[in-house]
Amino acid sequence: MTGSIGVAPAADLDPEREFPSMFEPVHGSDPDVAGRGEADPLGAIRSAVMMLDHLGHPDASAELPAAAFGALADAVGTADLGGTADTAGSTRAVLDRAGTPAGVGA
C-alpha cells in the first residue's frame, strides 16, 4: 500500500539508453478532483527525482526527498496526507525547502 493516489513514482527505463525512458507517478483516474487543486504532487516530484538520477544529476535530486518529507512533517501537504494545502501550495512548499528559484514549479 502506498497511501494515496499519485504518491508512488514509476519509471519505464531503457537500461541500454538507446531509447528514451519515461518517468511518471503511479496513479489512476479520479475525475472528482480534476481541476480542484486536490491532486497530490508527491508522485510527480518523486518521479522527477528518479529522472534526475537516471540522467546523471544526483546532486540535483538529493534535495527533493528531504524537502518533501520536511513539507509533510510541517503538515504542508494535500488533504489526503493530512495537510491543508492545495496542489500548488504543496508543490511550492517542497520546492521552497529544496531551494528552488522562484518561478520554477508551482
Residue matched to cell numbers 520536511: 70
Tell me the residue range of the domain where 75 lies: 9-97
How far apart are the C-alpha atoms of 56 and 35, rounded to whole Å?
34
Question: What is the domain count for the chain?
Answer: 1
Determine, yes or no, domain membership for 104.
Answer: no
* Cβ(11)–Cβ(50) below 8 Å: yes
Per-residue pLDDT of the chain (106 residues; tens, 9 = 90+): 445 566 788 899 998 989 999 999 887 667 777 788 888 888 889 999 999 999 998 888 888 888 988 888 888 888 888 888 999 999 999 999 987 655 555 4
Determine, yes or no, domain membership for 27.
Answer: yes
Determine, yes or no, domain membership for 106.
Answer: no
Report which residue type is found at 75: A
Determine, yes or no, domain membership for 69.
Answer: yes
How far apart are the C-alpha atoms of 7 and 58, rounded to whole Å?
21
Q: pTM (2 decimals)?
A: 0.80
